[in-house]
């Protein structure tokens, strides 16, 4: 099954035989995955299947015990703080609970990391922030405080903040799960435009129709393993394993 990738090339994220345990409980039981540049991958599965844990391993928020993980050619070395900082300039993350910095304005939220990490000048960072905020539809909110914004607006700011670091890969961890239903669409539209522009995306999501529409590949995780993998039409339309069939039918209840 060849996913229709926007750009071909060597894998931008390469995961080999990844295993992770919390104490004696193994949550990831050997994951193998290659992500091509520009690919959009949706990760679905029941809670507890390890989806978020896998995502958090990719940018080092969780450590794994066995296996290897390479991003943009750089291996993930959890012990080296410098290597981790280097990695995180290539991988951005959007969280379910937004995690905007409440004491900074929207604009400063977006500007903070580029000025500190990429040593950009305040003027350049501000200009970039304004552009990114306009891109997510919040150009006029530069001086607003996060608590003045709706959930959907805050999440879009979080996306702009992650994009300011110009990552090669964007990780989205259930980014619409904490939003009121009427605010979900505005966030998904931004994500879709990112996908159209060729951003490599790994999304853990419950929005099945969105996943079906936007992703090149869908991964169904079950009990810490990649249970089924394939293009959305095949996975959603023709589930092969009973676990996936049961998962998909439970969504329609």
Partner 1 sequence: MVEFTFWDILRNLLLAARWTVVLSLIAFVGGGLVGALLLVARLSKLRGAEPLVGGYVQLFQGTPLLMQLFLAYFGIALFGIQASVWVAATLALTLYTSAFLTEIWRGCVAAIPKGQWEAAQSLAMSFGEQLRHVVLPQALRIAIPPTVGFMVQVIKGTALASVVGFVELTRAGNMISNVTYQPFTVFACVALLYFALCYPISLYAKSLERKINAARR
Q: Give contact residues for partner 1 (rule: CB under 8 A).
A: 59-61, 81, 84-89, 91-93, 95, 97, 99-103, 112-113, 116-117, 158, 161-162, 165
Question: In this complex, which beta carbon is closest to partner 1, that of residue 113 or of residue 219?
Answer: 113
In the bound complex, what is the minimum distance in angstroms from residue 211's beta carbon to partner 1? 23
In the bound complex, what is the minimum distance in angstroms from residue 91's beta carbon to partner 1? 8
Distance CA 39, CA 6 (A): 7
In the bound complex, what is the minimum distance in angstroms from residue 47's beta carbon to partner 1? 18
In the bound complex, what is the minimum distance in angstroms from residue 240's beta carbon to partner 1? 35
Q: Quick one: which of 142, 146, 164 has its CA closest to 155?
A: 146
Cβ-proximal residues to 35 (8 Å cutoff; 6+ apart), any chain: 11, 12, 13, 14, 41, 169, 200, 202
Question: In this complex, which beta carbon is closest to partner 1, that of residue 93 or of residue 199?
Answer: 93
Question: In this complex, which beta carbon is closest to partner 1, that of residue 151 or of residue 231?
Answer: 151
Question: In this complex, which beta carbon is closest to partner 1, that of residue 38 or of residue 114?
Answer: 114
Question: In this complex, which beta carbon is closest to partner 1, that of residue 56 or of residue 222?
Answer: 56
In the bound complex, what is the minimum distance in angstroms from residue 59's beta carbon to partner 1? 6
Question: In this complex, which beta carbon is closest to partner 1, that of residue 100 or of residue 184?
Answer: 100
Parallel/antiparallel/unpaired status of strands 13-22 and 25-35: antiparallel
In the bound complex, what is the minimum distance in angstroms from residue 225's beta carbon to partner 1? 26
């Amino acid at each position: 099954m060849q996913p229709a990738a926007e750009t071909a090339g060597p894998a931008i994220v390469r995961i080999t035989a990844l295993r992770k345990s919390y104490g004696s409980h193994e949550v990831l039981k050997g994951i193998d995955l290659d992500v091509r540049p520009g690919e959009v991958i949706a990760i679905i599965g029941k809670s507890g299947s390890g989806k978020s844990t896998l995502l958090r391993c990719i940018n080092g928020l969780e450590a794994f015990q066995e296996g290897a993980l390479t991003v943009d050619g750089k291996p993930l070395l959890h012990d080296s703080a410098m290597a981790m900082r280097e990695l995180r300039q290539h991988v951005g993350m959007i969280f379910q609970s937004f995690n905007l910095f409440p004491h900074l304005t929207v604009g400063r939220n977006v500007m903070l990391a580029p000025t500190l990490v990429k040593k950009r000048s305040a003027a350049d960072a501000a200009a970039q922030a304004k552009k990114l905020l306009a891109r997510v539809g919040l150009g006029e909110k530069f001086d607003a405080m996060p608590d003045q914004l709706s959930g959907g607006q805050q999440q879009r700011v979080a996306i702009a903040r992650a994009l300011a670091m110009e990552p090669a890969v964007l990780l989205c961890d259930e980014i619409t799960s904490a939003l009121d239903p009427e605010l979900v669409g505005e966030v998904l539209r931004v994500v879709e435009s990112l996908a159209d522009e060729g951003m490599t995306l790994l999304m853990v999501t419950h929005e099945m129709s969105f996943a079906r529409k936007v992703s090149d590949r869908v991964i169904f995780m079950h009990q810490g393993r990649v249970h089924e993998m394939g293009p959305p039409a095949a996975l959603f339309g023709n589930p092969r394993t009973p676990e996936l069939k049961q998962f998909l039918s439970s969504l329609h209840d």
